[in-house]
């Protein structure tokens, strides 16, 4: 399918953002990006990884494509998310009450959901809500996020100085 992103690790090919996040968190447990197997927070971790990959992404894409979900409750249930508002309200209900999605520490679920929210708010596919902005701000202020942006910016500057047209975001 030519899927992007994709990783190859130890001969294993992994595609799909949520799967890559879960795979890497398990492959490198010392990074602490997933609650341990058997930890009650593991359920929340999986929930939010796949909530973003399923209902959130589907609802946002359908809105962008102007797909109309019928008002009939029986039909809404068939799309797997009901409505974009219901999806956003669900996320807001959690990020407004807790610092992280799965337990008391940052996980790959925060990385993935935070990326969806940050990207969506930046490009107008997800409306700005105070709880989303606060959550995304907490995540983007983490030292690892700051370092990653510095690395990206340095690589973009290097590519630009070599005559390439590079941008962190599509135009």
Q: For 51-110, how does the pLDDT look when each residue is reduced to its tens digit (9 = 90+)? A: 999 999 999 999 999 998 888 888 877 888 888 999 999 999 999 999 999 989 999 999
Task: Report yes or no on 123 lying in a domain.
Answer: yes
- 32 vs 108: CA distance, rounded Å: 9
If you average pLDDT over every residue of the chain, what do you get?
A: 92
> Given its phi and psi angles, is residue 99 left (phi above 0), alpha (psi -120 to 50 degrees) or beta?
alpha
- What are the Cα distances from residue 50, in Å, to 47, 123, 124, 133? 6, 22, 22, 21
Q: What percent of the chain has pLDDT over 90?
A: 80
Task: Report yes or no on 28 lying in a domain.
Answer: no
Sign of CA dihedral 34, 21, 139, 83: negative
Are 63 and 84 in contact, with CB atoms under 8 Å apart?
A: yes
- 72 vs 99: CA distance, rounded Å: 36
3-state secondary structure of 49: helix
Question: Which residues is 15 bridged to in the sheet?
Answer: 6
Q: What's the CATH number where 107 sits?
A: 1.20.1050.10
DSSP 35: P
- 80 vs 86: CA distance, rounded Å: 11
Sign of CA dihedral 147, 34, 18, 88: negative
pTM of the entire structure?
A: 0.87
What total number of domains does the chain contain?
Answer: 1
The pLDDT tens digits for 102-157 are 989 999 999 999 999 999 999 999 999 999 999 999 999 999 999 999 999 999 99
Using the structure block, give the residue that is written with the tokens 């494509």: 65
Task: Report yes or no on 106 lying in a domain.
Answer: yes
pLDDT above 90: residue 162? no
Task: Report yes or no on 5 lying in a domain.
Answer: no
pLDDT computed for residue 62 by the predictor:
94
What domain range is 99 assigned to? Answer: 35-140
Contacts for 57 with CB less than 8 Å, ≥ 6 apart:
116
pLDDT computed for residue 119 by the predictor:
95
């Amino acid at each position: 399918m030519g899927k992007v992103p994709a990783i190859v690790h130890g001969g294993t090919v992994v595609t799909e953002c949520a799967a890559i996040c879960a795979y890497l968190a398990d492959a490198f447990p010392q990074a602490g990006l997933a609650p341990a197997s058997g930890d009650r927070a593991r359920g929340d971790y999986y929930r939010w990884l796949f909530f973003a990959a399923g209902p959130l992404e589907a609802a946002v894409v359908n809105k962008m494509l102007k797909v109309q979900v019928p008002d009939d409750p029986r039909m809404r249930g068939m799309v797997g998310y009901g409505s974009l508002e219901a999806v956003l309200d669900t996320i807001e209900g959690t990020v407004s009450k807790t610092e992280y999605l799965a337990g008391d520490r940052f996980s790959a679920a925060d990385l993935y959901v935070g990326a969806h929210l940050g990207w969506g708010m930046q490009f107008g596919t997800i409306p700005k809500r105070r709880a989303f902005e606060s959550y995304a701000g907490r995540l983007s202020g983490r030292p690892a996020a700051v370092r990653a942006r510095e690395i990206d910016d340095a690589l973009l500057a290097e590519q630009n100085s070599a005559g390439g047209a590079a941008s962190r975001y599509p135009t």
